[in-house]
Structure 1
Amino acid sequence: MSLDHPLNSLGLAKPPQETRVVVAMSGGVDSSVVAAMLAEEGYDVVGVTLQLYDHGAALAKKGACCAGRDIHDARRVAEAMGFPHYVLDYENTFRAAVIDEFADAYLAGATPVPCIRCNERVKFKDLLATARELDADCMATGHYIQRKLGLHGPELHSATDPARDQSYFLFSTTAEQLDYLRFPLGHLASKAETRALAARYGLAVADKPDSQDICFVPNGDYAAVIEKLRPGAAEPGLIVGLDGTPLGEHRGVIHYTIGQRRGLGIGGVADPLYVLRLDPETRQVVVGPKAALSTRRVPLREINWLGDAAFDSQPEWLLNVKVRSTRPPRPALVRPLSATEAEVELLAPEDGISAGQACVFYAPEGSRVLGGGWIWKGR
Structure 2
Amino acid sequence: MAQERVLLGMSGGMDSSMSAVLLQQHGYEVIGATLLTHTDEQDASIIAAQNLAKERQIEHHLIDCREQFKSTVIQYFADEYTAGRTPNPCIKCNETIKWKLLLELADQLNCKYIATGHYVQKALVNDRYYIQKGLDPAKDQSYFLWNLNQATIERALFPLGQLHKQEVRELARQLGYTEIADKKESMGVCFLAGTDYRHYLTQLLGEGHPALSDGHVVDENGTLLGHHEGYSFYTIGQRRGIEGIANGKCVIAIDAENKQLIAGNRDKLFTNRITLKDFSLSNDQTLWKNQNIFIRIRGLDSVPGYLGSLELIDDSLIVQFENNVWAVTPGQSIVFYQNNKIIGGGIY
TM-score tier, shorter chain, comes to over 0.9
For residues 1-379 of structure 1, what are the structure 2 equivalents within 5 Å? 17-55=2-40, 68-188=43-163, 190-203=164-177, 204-231=179-206, 232=209, 233-266=211-244, 269=246, 271-306=247-282, 308-309=284-285, 318-326=292-300, 327-338=303-314, 341-363=316-338, 366-375=339-348
Q: Deviation of residue 148 (structure 1)? A: 2.3
Q: Distance in 2 between matches of 1:325 and 1:38?
A: 27
Q: Deviation of residue 220 (structure 1)? A: 4.2
- How many residues are matched? 342
**Pair 1:117–1:321, CA change in 2 (3 A):** same
Tell me, yes or no, if the aligned pair for 1:30 and 1:194 is still in contact at 8 Å.
yes
| Helix, strand or coil at the partner of 1:225 | helix
| Helix, strand or coil at the partner of 1:216 | helix
Q: Deviation of residue 214 (structure 1)? A: 0.6
73-82 or 147-156, larger mean C-alpha shift: 147-156
Unaligned runs of 5+ in 1: 1-14, 57-66
Tell me, yes or no, if the aligned pair for 2:130 and 2:341 is still in contact at 8 Å.
yes
Q: Distance in 2 between matches of 1:179 and 1:218?
A: 32
The C-alpha deviation readout for 1:140-167, integer Å capped at 9, x for no partner, is 1000110123332433211111111111
Percent identity, please.
Answer: 35
Query: Which letter maps to 2:220?
Result: L
Query: Which letter maps to 2:47?
Result: H
Q: Deviation of residue 328 (structure 1)? A: 2.5
Q: Deviation of residue 310 (structure 1)? A: 8.9
TM-score after normalising by structure 2: 0.92
Tell me, yes or no, if the aligned pair for 1:239 and 1:286 is still in contact at 8 Å.
yes
Q: Deviation of residue 27 (structure 1)? A: 1.2
The C-alpha deviation readout for 1:32-54, integer Å capped at 9, x for no partner, is 11012212333211110000011
Q: Deviation of residue 255 (structure 1)? A: 1.0
TM-score after normalising by structure 1: 0.85
Tell me, yes or no, if the aligned pair for 2:217 and 2:243 is still in contact at 8 Å.
no
150-159 or 113-122, larger mean C-alpha shift: 150-159
**Pair 1:85–1:338, CA change in 2 (3 A):** farther
Tell me, yes or no, if the aligned pair for 2:6 and 2:29 is still in contact at 8 Å.
yes
Q: Deviation of residue 222 (structure 1)? A: 1.3
Q: Deviation of residue 309 (structure 1)? A: 3.9
Q: Distance in 2 between matches of 1:322 and 1:307?
A: 20
Q: Distance in 2 between matches of 1:359 and 1:181?
A: 23
| Helix, strand or coil at the partner of 1:362 | strand
| Helix, strand or coil at the partner of 1:164 | coil
The C-alpha deviation readout for 1:166-192, integer Å capped at 9, x for no partner, is 11101011111111111111111x211
Unaligned runs of 5+ in 2: none
Query: Which letter maps to 1:72?
Result: I
Aligned structure 1 segments of 4 or more residues deviating by more than 6 angstroms: none
Query: Which letter maps to 2:230?
Result: G
Q: Deviation of residue 122 (structure 1)? A: 0.9
Q: Distance in 1 between matches of 2:168 and 2:144?
A: 20
Aligned equivalent of 1:12:
none
Tell me, yes or no, if the aligned pair for 2:119 and 2:141 is still in contact at 8 Å.
yes
| Helix, strand or coil at the partner of 2:17 | helix
| Helix, strand or coil at the partner of 1:213 | coil
Q: CA RMSD in A?
A: 2.0
**Pair 1:196–1:221, CA change in 2 (3 A):** same
| Helix, strand or coil at the partner of 1:205 | helix
